[in-house]
Homo-oligomer: A and B are copies of this chain.
């Protein structure tokens, strides 16, 4: 196993490769590599029984691939938690560090980190951290953009992207923030919400609202 193979497995997982077929193009876009490179790597991952490939139709994870993806997500989120909780990183800055550390993290190290952090359930942007056995509760897949006006909701998770997290940080929005959805501006305009803590109205862009999960 190499870091690059792990990256392929992880992106397939993140794109939903446990339930649907992921296209070559989605992977190429996600990893910023050429389509030909994807086909080549997928061939190797098929040999290793990590993915199933139906030529021209798409790629899904095997049970084994899914398990590996969970382990990687766990390691990634444990590092993010450590960086924020103990090393005082900004939430927006942890992703890239965790991205490289996750590939160099033995299972022993992950477990030790998990204990040290107090068996945390969520990473700093709200993602669920699988436990020692890879079990984790399903989290909400409902996105802020799809909430009807007037609903009171809690932000549970934000897609792990530096620019998005910085944008939301500046707006004072993060995981666990409670808001009421006031209205959706037309033509892919922003979603206007009111933060319950201080009654402030906040305008969240259409695109951002699709990358914020709520409950």
Interface residue ranges, A against B (CB under 8 Å): 83, 86-89, 97, 100-101, 103-104, 106, 109, 112-113, 115-116
Contact B87 A113 (CB under 8 A): yes
Number of copies: 2
A115 neighbours in B (Cβ, 8 Å): 87
CA–CA, A83 and B106, complex, Å: 13
Are B116 and A87 touching (Cβ within 8 A)? Answer: yes
- Say whether chain A's binding surface is mostly helix, strand, loop, or mixed: helix
CB distance from A162 to the nearest CB of B (A): 14
Distance A115 CA – B89 CA, assembled complex (angstroms): 12
With A87-B109, A87-B116 already in contact, 15 other A-B pairs whose C-beta atoms are closer than 8 Å: A83-B109, A83-B112, A86-B116, A87-B112, A87-B113, A87-B115, A88-B112, A88-B116, A89-B112, A97-B106, A97-B109, A100-B104, A101-B104, A103-B104, A104-B104
Q: What B residues does A112 contact at CB under 8 A? A: 83, 87-89
- The answer for the CA separation of A88 and B101 in the assembled complex, in Å, is 19
